[in-house]
Amino acid sequence: MPPSPRGDEGTSRPPLLEIVIPAHNEEGRLPGGLLQLCAKLARMPFPTAVIVVDNNSTDRTAEIVENRPRGPVPVRLIQCATPGKGAAVRAGLLGTSAPFVGFCDADMATDLDAIDVAFGLLLSGERVVIGSRAHRASLVENRHSRVRELGAFGFRALAGVLVPGVSDTQCGFKFFDGVLARETAARLRTPGFAFDVELLARCVERGSQVQEIPVRWRDMPGSRFSPARHTFGIVLELGRIWLRLRARPAPAARPAWEPPLDPVGYP
């Protein structure tokens, strides 16, 4: 019998949880990251799946996913031609169908035990659960330079205007009610680093609260963020997000004369 699109991995039951990994030139970190994530998900007592979004990689990122040995957790590849992590996450979320979804970075900087906490909160009725390195119970191993730390402080201050009450919008570990994630991703317009801010702001706009949880987080080598190269662009992105969130469709022009709602006196 020929293999199904999911191969002989996992179970014939649809996944209850799907996790998206955005990936741009991640041939170095992706094999280990997938190994960790799939090992974690294989121990969950329900069907799960992983979606890797290849975001214009020029290395072996796509090949690693396509040639990966089959296992108990299905891993699917999606291509995203629009550059930027935000664009990749958007494509991945829109490619899900599970009742609960999330995304995490290929380096697995966030300890994956947090999945248990996030999923439990989703089952209890929370619709947005995110890891927060700023949580007082978090354990953070941070090797960032002083300049990058100052830049992060400034970013958090600006992001706090758009998503009040959220202490860490940028931790790459976020989980959602599936319907909310897909509806919100469809409206996401920020392709770059600041996409998390718009994504969370859109969720809040739809009436959902953001639940932050503590994480164990390690600063992993290979980050592409550079304060010198990216700060100006991120500030511009935040400005555009601010404008989008405050844009309201103009009311339709009313005609000079309107018939009464309940006309009387006509035959």
pLDDT digits (tens, 9 = 90+) for 145-171: 565 666 677 788 889 899 999 999 999
Q: Side-chain half-sphere of 130: how many Cα atoms within 13 Å?
A: 23
Quick check: 84 pLDDT over 60? yes
pLDDT at 6 over 70: no
Residue 80 amino acid letter: C
CA–CA dist 50, 27 (Å, integer): 17
What are the pLDDT digits (tens) for 16-61?
A: 999 999 999 999 999 999 999 999 999 999 999 999 999 999 999 9
Split at pLDDT 50, 70, 90, the class of 134 is very high
In order of start, what are the domains of the chain with their CATH numbers? 17-246 (3.90.550.10)
Chain centroid, CA 18 distance in Å? 12
- What is the mean predicted confidence (pLDDT) over 198-203? 97
